[in-house]
Amino acid sequence: MFNRDILQRLIVLDIETVSLAPNFEELPERLKPHWEKKSMSLQKNLDEPLPADAFFEERAAIYAEFAKVVCISFGYLKFEGEVPHLKVKSCCDSDEKVLLQEFGELLNRFPAHKKWLLCAHNGKEFDFPFLGRRFLVNSLELPTMLQIQGKKPWEIQHLDTMELWKFGDFKSFVSLDLLTAILDIPSPKSDMDGSMVGSCFWQDQDLEKIKTYCEQDVLATAQVLLRFARENLVAADDVHSV
């Protein structure tokens, strides 16, 4: 599916997002009626829909209009003989504009002539559009690799491991955790999952823990790519923070 040249041109990323406010009551007044409408729309087929405030705490973090990015981790693979190494960098900040500006500047340093590709699990459905929308909200210039308007599909520098796994099956969703289990990829030990990111940020104010969790997903996605390519997996000692 891949050769090493392609593997070494992939920027593997993951983002962690939280709601714009710790609860519905603290959401800006202008956004409250919009969330109430969205809440009703998303739950219209449920027998017992949740109130807008409870649904906000449960689901707001996945919608770019009502959420923000608090961590972006990304990495790239390098081979030394048969041994793959993963270099990882994270941008974390409670100030989303500062975080996105730093990430955008770092992303634009990757030389265009090498034809780098952004890669994430479910990235085309979540990570890439979420980032693009939040760059616009913060009045920041989009990094080159997120500028997709007017481009033909084959010109867009995005790759999605879930799309690769689907083989054209548009009704299939497979989590990264399930995919690593299927492919017999070791799962990093963690006492955290995606549903806990919001409380970790708003209640615990523990960005370092969120960063560790985010970097684990970058490693897992890189391992999936290596398995697809029938290459050796990255050993724990060969993951390097930069």
**pLDDT tens sequence across 42-68:** 999 998 999 999 999 999 999 999 999
Residue 142 has pLDDT above 80, yes or no: yes
Does the residue 89 lie in any domain? yes
* Mean predicted confidence (pLDDT) in 183-195: 81
Report the residue count for the chain: 242
Find the mean pLDDT for residues 133-138.
98
How many domains, the chain? 1
Segments forming the whole domain that contains residue 211:
4-20+66-241
Q: Which residue in this structure is represented by tokens 């959420």?
A: 67
Q: What is the mean pLDDT of the chain?
A: 94
Query: Model confidence over 150-184: pLDDT tens digits?
Result: 999 888 999 999 999 998 887 778 999 999 999 99
The stretch 102-110 carries a mean pLDDT of 95
Question: Which residue(s) pair with 11 in the sheet?
Answer: 118
Encode 156-182: b = buried (16+ Cβ within 10 Å), e = exposed. Answer: bbbbbbbbebeeeeeeeeeebeebbee
Closest listed residue to residue 141, CA positions, set 92, 94, 104, 90: 104
Q: Is residue 178 part of a domain?
A: yes
Q: Confirm whether 25 is domain-assigned.
A: no
Sequence-ordered alpha helix ranges (H) in 8-64:
32-42, 52-59
Global pTM?
Answer: 0.94
Phi, psi dihedrals of residue 226, rounded to the nearest 5°: -65, -40
Does 28 reside within a domain?
Answer: no
CATH of the domain at 180: 3.30.420.10
On whether residue 163 sits in a domain, the answer given is yes
Instruction: Classify residue 227: in a domain, yes or no.
Output: yes
Q: Is residue 37 part of a domain?
A: no
On the question of pLDDT at 187 being above 90, the answer is no
Tell me what pLDDT residue 230 has.
95
Query: Which pairing describes strands 67-80 and 83-92: parallel, antiparallel, or unpaired?
Result: antiparallel
pLDDT grade for 41, boundaries at 50, 70 and 90: very high
Give the mean model confidence (pLDDT) for residues 18-33. 97
Residue 65 DSSP one-character state? T
Note whether residue 48 is domain-resident.
no
For residue 188, what pLDDT is reported? Answer: 67
pLDDT, tens digit (0-9, with 9 covering 90-100), for 57-100: 999 999 999 999 999 999 999 999 999 999 999 999 999 999 99
Q: Quick one: pLDDT at residue 242? A: 87
